[in-house]
Structure 1
């Protein structure tokens, strides 16, 4: 009861602070119910451009989000059964996983989803990590633009590593998957395989021993779910055989029952 009261106070403070921080929504009426306040805060975080935020506000945001993560239930690596070859399947919210790294299906701007309360994985990861994540992504992209030019966008299958901030994972690996605009091609299949291979290479480089992959490109990027699962499992299996001591666990994180069925058929 005490923690709930503290959380309610944090929420009220953050809604007020993020409203004041915005330009367009300073006068937005705040709902009286907790769920309504959460929606307002989530939306204001989603649309906020990367810029400095008062340290006192960030401190409260971090406390609030860390408690929200605990409320949602943290899933440890030992809670997830291993099926074979250091591979696992887990269905649920990737923001609950306490692993070395979770993989975010990003877009080429690498700043997260700006659509208020959108349910894509990019939005959820940025929301529960906090606004510091978008700020870090922006700093990295600005450095890359200094090197490659002001119009630089992150290429497909080139991963970017960031801290995870208020998530239970240690790191987030952001990767842009291939977009299937018309029909599936061998080039697109190779691009998807490269997403998995390059991400695992990054884990190896940084000493990350456990990673949870989302179903890269199968949402609004329109990669066929079954073929995506086949490529993911084949690529990861091949990489693990070539690097037998590199990873403790690779988790295929699925949200839809359809994807869970495909991965279960492939990993027995």
Structure 2
């Protein structure tokens, strides 16, 4: 089935189960780009509820085709290294075939419900498919409370090229950065590294946790990230490759300079 036909079928299925968004959908034009944006929007808005198998099959066909179109990036493709275990890569984390990628989640751990929002939580859930929200919902129901800041949980990756997604909630900075903010951000990195080791992973890719909507200053966050990772790798019992993944040019320069100096 052609991509455009897949998108239209998926939109129709979602609107059939969520008729309250018919007026919302009417604001989108009929061209392929607009209809694909509508699909992402509807997927973002859909609450965790049972998935129809026919929808999942069509969704997976589309997302896997888009994954191939974007191109999968393997850890061995990354050439910028700082020692044996630390790599730096600028690009879309949803393309990365590491054993695990880290998602900067919110305390509900269900993904971003704002249509086509620019956060990494939205990007990861949109590329993985609706099964990811369902698994996160199951984890949260078992837990019975919001996800604490500084911890980490594992889910499958579904239509992403990685094996797992590690979800961690970073600190939200309100005003000046506090000592607690710094400790909690470091805890996010340690928790993900510990979970990676427990799972026997060989590679994990970190996004810039808390530096977007949670307003942690990027430079200070990078220092904490690099210091925490280096300290863990020195003490760790397992060989683990850590990829610092950035999307902005400013973050790339920040991490490159920090890692090249060997200082944190």
Q: TM-score range by the shorter chain?
A: over 0.9
* d(CA) in 2 for partners of 1:49, 1:245: 39
Match of residue 36 from structure 1? 34
Alignment of 1:145-224 (within 5 A): 145=144, 152-224=145-217
Match of residue 239 from structure 2? 246
Report how many aligned residue pairs link the two structures.
257
Moved over 4 A (4+): none
Match of residue 66 from structure 2? 68
* d(CA) in 1 for partners of 2:29, 2:54: 24
* d(CA) in 2 for partners of 1:34, 1:250: 38
Q: What whole-Å deviation, never above 9, does each CA across 1:62-99 have from its counterpart, x for those lacking one? A: 01001111111111111112322410111111000011
Match of residue 130 from structure 2? 131
Match of residue 148 from structure 1? none
- Contact 2:197 2:238 (8 Å CA) reproduced: no
Alignment of 1:94-113 (within 5 A): 94-113=93-112
Give the aligned CA root-mean-square deviation in angstroms.
Answer: 1.2
Normalised by the size of structure 2, how large is the TM-score? 0.94
- Please report how far the alpha carbon of residue 244 of structure 1 lies from its aligned counterpart in structure 2 after TM superposition: 5.0
- Please report how far the alpha carbon of residue 242 of structure 1 lies from its aligned counterpart in structure 2 after TM superposition: 0.8
Alignment of 1:86-97 (within 5 A): 86-97=85-96
* d(CA) in 2 for partners of 1:191, 1:26: 42
* d(CA) in 2 for partners of 1:12, 1:74: 26
- Contact 2:85 2:239 (8 Å CA) reproduced: no
- Contact 1:84 1:267 (8 Å CA) reproduced: no
Partner of residue 10 from structure 1, selected from 6, 18, 29: 6
The runs of 5 or more residues in structure 2 that have no matched partner are none
- Contact 2:110 2:137 (8 Å CA) reproduced: yes
Match of residue 149 from structure 1? none
Match of residue 20 from structure 2? 24
Normalised by the size of structure 1, how large is the TM-score? 0.93
- Contact 2:152 2:167 (8 Å CA) reproduced: yes
The runs of 5 or more residues in structure 1 that have no matched partner are 146-151
SS, match of residue 204 in structure 1: helix
Match of residue 52 from structure 2? 54
* d(CA) in 2 for partners of 1:198, 1:53: 31
- Contact 2:78 2:87 (8 Å CA) reproduced: yes
- Please report how far the alpha carbon of residue 267 of structure 1 lies from its aligned counterpart in structure 2 after TM superposition: 1.2
